């Protein structure tokens, strides 16, 4: 797999055909992609819910750190690890700025 460097200035977004979905029958959130689905835990849902194609990764990290009163370093590690896995699976795309 190709590893893309995730910088704080990067902007992450869901590519066409990938979306967040509430599975009301099972009471879970899932990330749906063509022929794939990933059940999200609370951390993954919190991260993906903040991706709007305009907000930088650094902004998402700071927002989540404030919301959950957690150390920035811990949130940063969680966000980068989670997004890297989705970037590798082509379920999240990165751009250098908000011009996604």
Burial group, residue 58, by CB count within 10 angstroms (0-12, 13-18, 19+): middle
Which range (5-9, 18-22, 35-39, 88-92) has the least confidence? 5-9
- Tens-place pLDDT, residues 38-48: 999 999 999 99
The domain spans of the chain are 11-90
Which homologous superfamily does the CATH classification assign to the domain defined by 11-90?
Coenzyme PQQ synthesis protein D (PqqD) (1.10.10.1150)
- Strand order, beta sheet including 28-33: 19-23, 28-33, 36-40
Q: How far apart are CA 92 and CA 89, in angstroms?
A: 8
Q: What is the pTM of this model?
A: 0.87
- Tens-place pLDDT, residues 70-87: 999 999 999 999 999 999
- Is the separation of the CB atoms in 58 and 73 below 8 Å? no
Calculate mean pLDDT across residues 49-59: 95
């Amino acid at each position: 797999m190709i590893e893309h460097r995730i910088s704080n200035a990067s902007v992450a977004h869901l590519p066409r055909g990938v979306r967040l979905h509430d599975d009301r029958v099972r009471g879970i959130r899932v990330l749906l992609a063509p022929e794939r689905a990933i059940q999200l835990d609370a951390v993954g849902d919190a991260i993906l819910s903040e991706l709007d194609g305009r907000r930088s990764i650094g902004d998402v990290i700071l927002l989540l750190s404030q919301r959950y009163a957690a150390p920035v370093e811990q949130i940063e590690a969680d966000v980068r690890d989670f997004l890297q896995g989705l970037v590798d699976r082509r379920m999240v795309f990165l751009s250098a700025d908000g011009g996604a």
